[in-house]
Amino acid sequence: MTDTAVAPHRGLEGDEPAAAWRHQVIYEIYPKSFADDNGDGVGDVNGMRSRLPYLARLGVDALWIAPWYPSPGADGGYDITDYRSIDPAVGTLAEAERLVEEAHEAGLRVIIDLVVNHTSDQHPWFVAALKAGPGSAERARYTFRDGTGTDGSLPPNNWFSAFGDRAWTRITEPDGRPGQWYLHTFAPEQPDLDWTNPEVHSEVVDILKFWFDRGVDGIRADAVPAMAKTAGLPDTPYDPALGFQSAIWTDAPNWDTHEIHAIMREWRAVADAYDPPRFFVAEAVTCSAERLANYLRPDELHAAFNFDFLRAGWDAARILSAINTTLETLQPVNAPATWVLSSHDETRHVTRFGRADTSASLMGFDLDLNSDIAKGTRRARAAALLQLALPGMACLYQGDELGLPEVTDLPEEALQDPIWERTGHTSRGRDGCRVPLPWGGTEPPFGFSPAGTRTWLPQPDNWRHLTVESQESDPQSMLTLYREALTWRRAYPDFRTGGFSWLDTPPEVIAFRRGKGIVCVVNLGATDFPIGDLGTIILLTSGPTNGGGLPPDTAAWIAAPSERSAP
């Protein structure tokens, strides 16, 4: 077996201020579904506080808390009415401040979500814009335009919403006449801010400082490529069959325009003025890895979620290509890679990996519900070892560590994601990955809320074997696997700062070396793969091995003899 070294990955080391983030494991918390302290069936800040010991024991380094701000909930909290406080259903600002302090005491950093492509339609700015009328300073904070056609009854251009249907909604003016249209890249309840307006810039800088002053360590920036639009708002050349999901994004006037980068530089300067400097991770879906790297230039954001890896599914060639492309494109900008398998927007990977099509479609648009969960779980275990051995940051979504499957049979009346309505009930959207976590007990609410409470999304009755409580005492459980993997990752510097080189294996097997001694090997093929000559000391496997053979859908971490020491 020979090693093929890839160009040294500069992102592995460094003494620049953000170096400390380069190998962190981030754990995404979806607040309403993590833990419910006050017994109303909705997760809350005090629930998070009570579970900090669990998160510290799991071995992650940082928490990303999805939006916790006041919100009417038209898009799961991504429609915000007040950026400087906490949704009363979730807690108070004082509790959030305590959470940040307590997380720091537990050795965990805190990243919060910043959603400023749009506000809620109930944000005071938008309410004022509706009242103020065309041409007003209030309307200029958003993207209002007159309609087209003889009576203005046609939208200003052909843009689609990311959630399906058109991206414009016509309002009724204060005098009762049909009026202007406003742009919403997402739901109509999420009007797009106008980032050509300096007032929008200064407001967001002030919001950043508000949270940085409270000790928040970083920001996950939502929907970054949507923020700046090409002047004049020209039509987009969509593929008519694909609509917004269209691949023709390279020069789309509504996505990933050059103007966005000035905003990124403005934010970076704010973060760099803090001690320690604050950190940004971007949610930026782009048409190519090169375009993504543009957001990670030294004076822009620090890292970005890796959707190529997530979309690669359980396919050796696609995974290999995603890893290579990621490392190659991030090297020139010296940004760390991130490795993501699931999030609050994706079908959970246990379910995806058990399907015929294992890739992610993004935003829950997939309708293939049949899945072999046992197979998906086996693969998810192997994928965890792959994800945690790759160089850079790993991003876990709450419940990954429990091997939760997607809940594909939520009753229709329980569905809350706007995608369900906006696609005319053709896509169930993302609620199935947002079901409250099972902590303990044998029946819903599984310790998420006090017994007898109805949770905001119903949990399946058959999750008793997936609870934290039942997995803690099971040496074969997904939770045990994650804890062990994260322990080894901390114990061996090679996992964090060691170089990366591919090993020469058959195409259906992925194998690479980190540093001098650690090898990660993943068998995506249909027959056992002999691992005898990769090293004799097996640190961890995702499933049983057959003597010297690694079975299909199984991964192993192997160390050279000199590397072994118990963590």
Q: Which stretches of the chain bind ligand NOJ, using CB under 6 A?
A: 75-76, 78, 115, 186, 222-223, 283, 344-345
Cα 422 to Cα 288: distance, rounded to the nearest angstrom: 27
Nearer to ligand NOJ, 115 or 524 (CB): 115
> In Å, how far from its chain's centre is CA 112?
12
Nearer to ligand NOJ, 115 or 522 (CB): 115
Looking at beta carbons, which residue is closest to ligand NOJ? 78
Reading the block at residue 259, the tokens are: 């103007």
DSSP conformational letter for 458: P
Radius of gyration of the chain (CA): 24
Please state the length of the chain: 567
First to last CA, the chain: 28
CB 83 within 8 A of CB 134: no
Burial of 409 (0-12, 13-18, 19+ CB in 10 A): exposed
Nearer to ligand NOJ, 223 or 555 (CB): 223
- Torsion of the alpha carbons at 215, 22, 325 and 264, rounded to the nearest 10: 30
Cα 387 to Cα 400: distance, rounded to the nearest angstrom: 12
Alpha carbon distances (Å) from 451 to 36, 52, 180, 181, 290: 11, 21, 50, 48, 50
Helix, strand, or coil here: 296?
Answer: helix
Work out how close the CB of 345 gets to ligand NOJ at its nearest, in angstroms, rounded to a whole number.
5
Work out how close the CB of 186 gets to ligand NOJ at its nearest, in angstroms, rounded to a whole number.
4
Work out how close the CB of 471 gets to ligand NOJ at its nearest, in angstroms, rounded to a whole number.
27
Nearer to ligand NOJ, 194 or 222 (CB): 222
CB 471 within 8 A of CB 480: yes
Alpha carbon distances (Å) from 332 to 24, 257, 259, 389: 21, 21, 21, 22
What residues have CB less than 8 Å from 135, skipping those under 6 apart? none
